[in-house]
Amino acid sequence: MLGGPINGISNFTHQFMGFLLSGISNSSTSIFYRKICAVSSSKQAGRQGFDQFGDLTLKAMPEEKALTITNGSSNKKFPHVLTVAGSDSGAGAGIQADLKACAARGVYCSTVITAVTAQNTLGVQDVSILPEDSVAEQLKSVLSDMRVDVVKTGMLPSIGMVKILHDSLKQFPVQALVVDPVMVSTSGDVLAGPSILDTFRHDLLPMADIVTPNLKEASALLGGLQLKTVTDMRSAAKSLHNMGPRNVLVKGGDLPSSSDAIDVFFDGKDFYELRSTRIQTRNTHGTGCTLASCIAAELAKGSSMLSAVKVAKRYVETALMYSKSITIGNGPQGPFDHGFKLKRNACNSSRLPLLDPSDLFLYAVTDSGMNKKWGRSITDAVKAAVEGGATIVQLREKDAETGDFLEAAKSCLEICRIHNVPLLINDRIDIAMACDADGVHIGQSDMPVNTARSLLGPEKIIGVSCKTPEHALKAWADGADYIGSGGVFPTNTKANNRTIGLDGLKAVCLASKLPVVAIGGINLSNARSVMELGVANLEGVAVVSALFDRECVVTETRKLHGLLTETVANAGSTDTN
Ligand SMILES: Cc1ncc(COP(=O)(O)OP(=O)(O)O)c(N)n1
Ligand SMILES: Cc1ncsc1CCOP(=O)(O)O
Ligand SMILES: [Mg+2]
């Protein structure tokens, strides 16, 4: 049931915003709440400004007029997220965070503003809710013209706005809807009354491709259910999924006594526990909005849902690390810097490892000889490996001509970017630089790590081959990001390669301060024995022939991924990704 407006603002809205203000303002600091006012409707009062331009009623624009980036003679569609959310004058959260997150992820962001808040690091001082007519007009303006890929919602302060959004998306369908159900403040106050909760449950969630509640929001949507453990989060994700969204991400940032931030992702079939380091900082205002916008941005670029969530989590974690000691404002919760990437080259004294160690889980290394033998191109081989679940790819093309290698690397990079899988180049720093690959893998007799680093800059991944604990310590001191250690078993793929065995691998892992991937003679029959070492820093296996010297690369990659996942799960770890 829709709530009727009273003086331009519904009863619910009063209740909602009252909660919002008491919730967002820290109870131990002064409350700056002054008033809630509704901005008068453009149809009633603010129309004069428009009238001088005549009737603004829109007709849908023809497709060719949609937003395009012109590149020479071809028109290239630019990924586009529309955020429907409230404005935060302090610019840490809301519309402003969404704009910054999308810009940082290379995606265009248009905006439909539902409310204007006066807000800073102390709390919320004032809220003006936009008239529903205005929200409807904003939606129509953008959706009718600009070929939006993904809509992301934040603060939806009235039942009517949810209904308007619902109708607009029926009229102008988009690829995906990301719902951040902004309802509960960080200080724990319930921000939404039962009436909006029902609308969220019955109207908003069934439309959503993903809903991203924090613990308190998930609890509110589930009628006050207590969520205290990861097991509780899993059942909450399942119950929320039953309400209709295609995917659910329950964010466990508020989970007590956990050194990691654990989120539970459920796609209706499988659960994934996604972990990231909990960064000690006051600058966390806007993380929820940013995460949801980043998911939307990655979806707009063509990612799968799970990849989009993983990338978004990593982006927020990295932004918090970069921003942990900045000071903006005097209050208890500060904003963070979404644009850290822009400055990375300028101040790289504390370089961050850009490799997510879990990327090393199933590391596919190509081999031109094997591709020739099976009559496939490098690109087809990489595509198959990535589709089968490879989590990182290395092009190891020992015999390729430079020009051919570069062209192949460029097309492999396109495939890997779509799947958010890093692509590294073996030995050839020049090729990595020319195609802007994600990094390189180098051996003990290849270019030294520090030279490679100065050529590639701080953002690229550098992996180093190590057979001994001494190699491992040096790789870390030289600024590498990961270690490839082997041959663990005898191999025909690399001539004259000394086998170090499982014991040699274990010694390297124990000495290492970097994540390690095992390599050499690893296949479906012995991968379990590698992962069952269960030693710190060992993140996965790198394989050549077990994937590429086979008839069907996708099938072999899937089988190996399944086996590794099962081994890790049986060993007691629940994070299979
Ligand atoms: C992941 C991984 N680990 C080790 C190697 C071997 O590199 P390197 O010692 O330089 O030998 P070549 O591969 O260049 O013959 C690797 N490629 N990948
Ligand atoms: C490149 C490399 N480095 C150490 S062993 C090896 C070859 C691994 O190939 P395979 O997985 O076919 O044994
Ligand atoms: Mg090498």
What is the per-residue pLDDT across 459-507, written as a single tens digit (0 to 9) for each?
A: 789 999 999 999 999 998 888 999 999 999 999 999 999 999 999 999 9
Instruction: Compute the distance between CA of residue 93 and CA of residue 88 in angstroms, rounded to an integer.
Output: 6
**Ligand 3: distance of its center to the CA of 526 in Å?**
24
Q: Is the pLDDT of residue 344 over 60?
A: no
The residue whose CB lies within 8 Å of the most ligand 1 atoms, and thus the one to mutate among 359, 405, 426, is 426
Q: How confident is the model at residue 86 (pLDDT cuts 50, 70, 90)?
A: very high
What pLDDT sits at residue 459?
A: 76
More reliable by pLDDT, 401 or 193? 401
Is 284 considered catalytic here?
Answer: yes
Structure tokens at 349: 């004294």
Instruction: Compute the distance between CA of residue 214 and CA of residue 93 in angstroms, rounded to an integer.
Output: 15
What pLDDT sits at residue 26?
A: 29
In sequence order, which residues have a C-beta less than 8 Å from that of residue 357 and are 6 or more positions away? 482, 515, 539
**Ligand 3: distance of its center to the CA of 483 in Å?**
13
Instruction: Compute the distance between CA of residue 303 and CA of residue 307 in angstroms, rounded to an integer.
Output: 6
Among 212, 287, 318, 567, the active-site one is 287
Mean per-residue pLDDT over the chain, rounded: 83
To which residue do tokens 């078993």 refer?
Answer: 489
**Ligand 2: distance of its center to the CA of 513 in Å?**
23
CB 296 within 8 A of CB 176: yes
In sequence order, which residues have a C-beta less than 8 Å from that of residue 327 and are 6 or more positions away? 334
Condensed to tens digits (0 to 9), the pLDDT of residues 409-428 reads: 999 999 998 888 999 999 99
What pLDDT sits at residue 188?
A: 46
Q: Is the pLDDT of residue 560 over 90?
A: yes
What pLDDT sits at residue 209?
A: 98
Q: Between the CA atoms of 241, 242, 244 and 250, what dihedral angle is there, to the nearest 10 degrees?
A: -20
Does residue 329 have a cis bond before it (omega within 30 degrees)?
no
Ligand 2, atom 1: closest residue by C-alpha:
494
What pLDDT sits at residue 315?
A: 85
Average the pLDDT over 135-158 and give the result.
96
Condensed to tens digits (0 to 9), the pLDDT of residues 190-209 reads: 455 567 899 999 999 999 99
Average the pLDDT over 107-136 and give the result.
93
Please work out whether the CB of residue 441 comes within 6 Å of at least one atom of ligand 2. no
E-only strand ranges, 72-119 = 74-77, 80-88, 108-119
Please work out whether the CB of residue 186 comes within 6 Å of at least one atom of ligand 2. no
Evaluate the CA torsion angle 90, 93, 99, 104 in order and state its sign. positive
Provide the ipTM. 0.97
390-to-354, 424, 432, 519 alpha-carbon distances in Å: 18, 13, 20, 15
Condensed to tens digits (0 to 9), the pLDDT of residues 307-336 reads: 889 888 878 887 887 788 889 999 888 999
What pLDDT sits at residue 31?
A: 24
In sequence order, which residues have a C-beta less than 8 Å from that of residue 26 and are 6 or more positions away? 122, 123, 187, 331, 332, 333
In sequence order, which residues have a C-beta less than 8 Å from that of residue 531 and are 6 or more positions away? 538, 540, 541, 564, 567, 568, 571
Buried b (16+ CB within 10 A) or exposed e, 278-311: ebeebbbbbbbbbbbbbbbbbbbbebebbbbbbb
Please work out whether the CB of residue 487 comes within 6 Å of at least one atom of ligand 2. yes
Q: How confident is the model at residue 185 (pLDDT cuts 50, 70, 90)?
A: low
Beta 538-543 vs 362-365: how paired, if at all? parallel
Can you tell me whether residue 216 is helix, strand or coil? helix
Among 100, 140, 152, 251, the active-site one is 251
Ligand 1, atom 9: closest residue by C-alpha:
443
Note the ligand closest to the C-alpha atom of 444.
1
Instruction: Compute the distance between CA of residue 328 and CA of residue 330 in angstroms, rounded to an integer.
Output: 7
Is 251 considered catalytic here?
Answer: yes
What pLDDT sits at residue 184?
A: 61
Please work out whether the CB of residue 168 comes within 6 Å of at least one atom of ligand 2. no
Query: Torsions phi, psi of 182, nearest 5?
Result: -60, 110
What is the percent of the chain with per-residue pLDDT over 70, rounded to a whole number? 81
Condensed to tens digits (0 to 9), the pLDDT of residues 210-246 reads: 999 999 899 999 999 999 999 999 999 999 999 999 9
In sequence order, which residues have a C-beta less than 8 Å from that of residue 342 and are 6 or more positions away? none
Please work out whether the CB of residue 504 comes within 6 Å of at least one atom of ligand 2. no
Please work out whether the CB of residue 494 comes within 6 Å of at least one atom of ligand 2. yes
Q: Is the pLDDT of residue 52 over 50?
A: no
Average the pLDDT over 384-406 and give the result.
94
What pLDDT sits at residue 193?
A: 57
Burial of 329 (0-12, 13-18, 19+ CB in 10 A): middle
Closest residue by Cα to residue 338 from 298, 299, 285, 302: 285
Residues with CB under 6 A from ligand 1: 363, 365, 394, 396, 426-427, 441-443, 446, 463, 465, 484, 494, 517, 519, 542
Ligand 1, atom 10: closest residue by C-alpha:
443
Q: Is the pLDDT of residue 64 over 70?
A: no
The residue whose CB lies within 8 Å of the most ligand 1 atoms, and thus the one to mutate among 392, 395, 396, is 396
More reliable by pLDDT, 13 or 531? 531
Condensed to tens digits (0 to 9), the pLDDT of residues 27-49 reads: 222 222 223 334 433 333 332 22
Atom of ligand 2 nearest to the CA of 548: 12
What pLDDT sits at residue 257?
A: 64
What pLDDT sits at residue 1?
A: 26
Question: Which stretch of DSSP H or E encloses residue 440?
Answer: strand 439-442
How is 329-344 classified by DSSP, letter by letter? SSSSS-B--TTHHHHT
How is 192-212 classified by DSSP, letter by letter? S-HHHHHHIIIIIGGG-SEE-
Condensed to tens digits (0 to 9), the pLDDT of residues 352-381 reads: 447 888 899 999 999 989 999 999 999 999
Beta 247-251 vs 260-266: how paired, if at all? antiparallel
**Ligand 2: distance of its center to the CA of 487 in Å?**
6
**Ligand 2: distance of its center to the CA of 307 in Å?**
28
Instruction: Compute the distance between CA of residue 127 and CA of residue 158 in angstroms, rounded to an integer.
Output: 13
Atom of ligand 1 nearest to the CA of 482: 1
Count the alpha carbons within 13 Å of 162 in the hemisphere toward its beta carbon. Answer: 27
Can you tell me whether residue 148 is helix, strand or coil? coil
Query: Across the chain, how many H-helices and E-strands are there?
Result: 21, 22
Look up residue 436 and give its amino acid: D
Please work out whether the CB of residue 493 comes within 6 Å of at least one atom of ligand 2. yes
Please work out whether the CB of residue 335 comes within 6 Å of at least one atom of ligand 2. no
Q: Is the pLDDT of residue 294 over 60?
A: yes
Condensed to tens digits (0 to 9), the pLDDT of residues 254-281 reads: 887 667 788 999 999 999 988 877 788 8
Condensed to tens digits (0 to 9), the pLDDT of residues 510-537 reads: 999 899 999 999 999 999 999 999 999 9
Instruction: Compute the distance between CA of residue 358 and CA of residue 83 in angstroms, rounded to an integer.
Output: 31
Ligand 1, atom 12: closest residue by C-alpha:
443
More reliable by pLDDT, 302 or 551? 551
Instruction: Compute the distance between CA of residue 455 and CA of residue 425 in angstroms, rounded to an integer.
Output: 14
Ligand 1, atom 7: closest residue by C-alpha:
443
Predicted TM-score (pTM) of the model is 0.57
Among 23, 193, 252, 288, the active-site one is 288
Please work out whether the CB of residue 519 comes within 6 Å of at least one atom of ligand 2. yes
Closest residue by Cα to residue 166 from 202, 204, 134: 204
What pLDDT sits at residue 568?
A: 82
What pLDDT sits at residue 324?
A: 84
Q: How confident is the model at residue 75 (pLDDT cuts 50, 70, 90)?
A: low
What pLDDT sits at residue 76?
A: 62
Q: Angle at CA 516, nearest 5°, toward 573 and 291?
A: 60
